[in-house]
Structure 1
């Protein structure tokens, strides 16, 4: 059944879908160049030997965690967009992504270049965090809850498919031409500038009313730590959800950095295969699985959804840990497929989950809290994973791969907590 028949969504909002589809599908080309798994493999393979191994591995942790920890500054963008034209702020942010991409393109192949490359990626991801934070409010206003998950899934499916193809092509080029990033990143920067110009024409349904409501709510405190702490203090249900996400998300965000290091140092797979396992295959599976996850999330409270979805991550991280410890590389490929399926569900939950706790005027603030806490996890957890790996590897190289058991354990604990919270929520609703 067509979406138009399932909801009272306005004609203006329906007319926006093609532009949203074109915008975020094109943005996926740019994002593929910034994808954590791809960037981590580039750092590990190109800058290896240019600095001490510990610094190279920590740089891997930084670029892998950057998509998440850049979100620490999301509250700044929430403040910039509060009571203002969010589309215009998003356009400026997308232009800023191009600057970071240019830093990455000019990075020399030495220790200094390692720092420049890492800085450029983090800068780009900071601006992208601003786009994501404000985009959630745009989608909330333009698409009703009944179809928001399904529309988001369509947008993210197209985006993930383009990212999967783009990252695979980049991996193919880098496999034979390691310095291909010199022209890949400037092209990605141009894409970002084009998107920024096109997206400025997007309209927000009820945008004037939203700006008025925002200026009357939290106008003096948005963007300050006290505002976020106030929400967490006054809303225990959201606080408990954030606690479960902290535990569960810590395991997810810890995984990729030590996984890249383990595959590179203990299995020595070709660069293309490393990129396929850590980037291209998961992105492809995101595109394939999103529609199914969208049917599950529509009409469900986020806790009910997470209580089911979280176990897909348990299977994925379990496969990676088993493969690393047993030495059977087949598990990496299986884990990659399952991880992509899990990511597909995570995309929807991450973008939409806060809406079950907020109203329109507070939506940006709630998303800002969620994104900022994700950023804290993204800053700390990849480095913790790498440091645990380095510690175990120093004791005995055979112990290094066992570092993947830590993120697996965190994800299992988070999944159990989601089940308990969902049961509690259902009990309160009855």
Structure 2
């Protein structure tokens, strides 16, 4: 990839990328909902899984992020185009979900769904290469916001149907995962036409999880940002499995599958959809630190409202705040390294970012369940809010750094 290609993306490549990536987002919406909501619901109600297995399911994508630097090295050495390699991963994902279809116990069910999520977790680092190659800097947030809208819309629609189906056929959950396996195969097919190039191995260092520490030490601003993301991420990620637990589990509101789906997916997704286009435009034109601080406001109040609510309306308000915050956070998480990374090193920086995300994502569900056992759902809310607030001060400390320019040229 030469410098001119990076600076002046081809319009035809951008249109082709947008078309097929938007189609891929329809598949992503089904898979994200299937893993995050129905995988956990089936673990709770069909297999009566222990907190350990539920934590593993909740942290599986994050565990996949830990191995991103290594997988990106494999991708680079394979000399496959980034999207071709991604398609191979989605075929493996489909095979793993098929294993969950025939699983007869909590251990095998967890194993196969974890394996599937490990594959899915590699895609953001591959796609950052595609976005940097095919999209101009000033259009990345706007284009990615459409992916989030489509993903959330499809996920919301499909998941409501899944929830109603589970209420009426609680013993036949296997059909949901069979459908997800087919969706994963379709996702692989949508990746193949997207223009991309083989990844380049870093010239000065061995690619591994520890590469992230090296980059963070070398680039002090990037390291400080990673620290802020780490604290904020713990605050948000520790609540993710507990949102479903609060709605469906003992000690919570004990809602039906349909009600759980309405709150955790439909209400959440509507808020995410309606806010995504606004967040996409703000990302392209607003100072990034101001953008991140604004997101933190929504996420902080979402935790406080959601886990202190005692009615359907209350948790819907909390889910709405969480959906608005997540609509922008997805864009920020996927693209913020393009604000800092030197040209040609976006995938390397993204690899470091997602590896650190993996660390907190693996540990956060265990932390969340531990806090729940010690302080209850209200305690979870206040600790989550405190961590998000602490990260806001960390982000604010680099607000005036000159590398955060408004022109997005980096």
For residue 24 of structure 1, what is the aligned residue in structure 2? 25
Q: How far apart are residue 248 of structure 1 and its match?
A: 0.4
**Aligned residue among 193, 213, 233 for 1:229:** 213
State whether residues 246 and 307 of structure 2, in contact with CA within 8 Å, keep that contact through their aligned partners in structure 1. Answer: no
Secondary structure in 2 matching 1:265:
coil
State whether residues 105 and 185 of structure 1, in contact with CA within 8 Å, keep that contact through their aligned partners in structure 2. Answer: yes
Return the alpha-carbon distance in structure 1 between the equivalents of residues 346 and 145 of structure 2. 20
Secondary structure in 1 matching 2:239:
helix
Map 1:293-308 onto structure 2 (within 5 A). Answer: 293-308=279-294
State whether residues 92 and 196 of structure 1, in contact with CA within 8 Å, keep that contact through their aligned partners in structure 2. Answer: yes
State whether residues 102 and 189 of structure 1, in contact with CA within 8 Å, keep that contact through their aligned partners in structure 2. Answer: yes
Q: How far apart are residue 93 of structure 1 and its match?
A: 0.6
Q: How far apart are residue 127 of structure 1 and its match?
A: 0.4
Q: Deviations over 1:140-188 (max 9, x none)?
A: 1110110010001112211111111111111111112113321121121
Return the alpha-carbon distance in structure 2 between the equivalents of residues 360 and 93 of structure 1. 26
Map 1:69-148 onto structure 2 (within 5 A). Answer: 69-82=63-76, 84=79, 85-108=81-104, 113-148=105-140
For residue 40 of structure 2, what is the aligned residue in structure 1? 40
**Aligned residue among 187, 190, 194 for 2:179:** 187
Q: Deviations over 1:81-122 (max 9, x none)?
A: 3363211110111111112211221122xxxx1111211221
Moved more, 232-241 or 181-190: 181-190
For residue 396 of structure 1, what is the aligned residue in structure 2? none
Return the alpha-carbon distance in structure 2 between the equivalents of residues 277 and 64 of structure 1. 18
Where structure 1 has 5 or more consecutive residues not aligned to the other structure, the ranges are 1-6, 393-398
**Aligned residue among 366, 372, 388 for 2:371:** 388
Return the alpha-carbon distance in structure 1 between the equivalents of residues 403 and 148 of structure 2. 33
**Aligned residue among 275, 279, 291 for 2:261:** 275
Q: How far apart are residue 78 of structure 1 and its match?
A: 1.5
Return the alpha-carbon distance in structure 2 between the equivalents of residues 429 and 105 of structure 1. 49
State whether residues 256 and 278 of structure 1, in contact with CA within 8 Å, keep that contact through their aligned partners in structure 2. Answer: no
Map 1:189-268 onto structure 2 (within 5 A). Answer: 189-204=181-196, 207=197, 211=199, 214-215=200-201, 217-218=202-203, 221-222=206-207, 224-263=208-247, 264-266=249-251, 267-268=253-254
Change (3 A) 1:310 1:103: same
Q: Deviations over 1:331-364 (max 9, x none)?
A: 2111011111111001100100111121342111
State whether residues 211 and 352 of structure 2, in contact with CA within 8 Å, keep that contact through their aligned partners in structure 1. Answer: no
State whether residues 133 and 368 of structure 1, in contact with CA within 8 Å, keep that contact through their aligned partners in structure 2. Answer: yes
Secondary structure in 1 matching 2:285:
coil
Query: Do structure 1's residue 176 and structure 2's residue 177 form an aligned pair?
Result: no
For residue 155 of structure 2, what is the aligned residue in structure 1? 163
Structure showing the higher helix proportion among its residues: 1
Return the alpha-carbon distance in structure 2 between the equivalents of residues 162 and 29 of structure 1. 7
Q: How far apart are residue 329 of structure 1 and its match?
A: 4.3
State whether residues 41 and 274 of structure 1, in contact with CA within 8 Å, keep that contact through their aligned partners in structure 2. Answer: no
TM-score scaled to structure 1, two decimals? 0.85
Q: Deviations over 1:259-294 (max 9, x none)?
A: 333332122111221232223322232222110101
**Aligned residue among 309, 317, 330 for 2:303:** 317
Query: Do structure 1's residue 409 and structure 2's residue 389 form an aligned pair?
Result: no
Moved more, 237-246 or 293-302: 293-302
Indicate the RMSD between aligned Cα atoms, in angstroms: 2.3
**Aligned residue among 419, 423, 429 for 2:396:** 419
Q: How far apart are residue 370 of structure 1 and its match?
A: 0.9
Change (3 A) 1:142 1:402: same
Moved more, 309-318 or 16-25: 16-25
Q: Deviations over 1:39-74 (max 9, x none)?
A: 2222222223xx6xxx2x332222223233321111
Return the alpha-carbon distance in structure 1 between the equivalents of residues 84 and 54 of structure 2. 33
TM-score scaled to structure 2, two decimals? 0.89
Q: How far apart are residue 429 of structure 1 and its match?
A: 7.0
State whether residues 38 and 279 of structure 1, in contact with CA within 8 Å, keep that contact through their aligned partners in structure 2. Answer: no
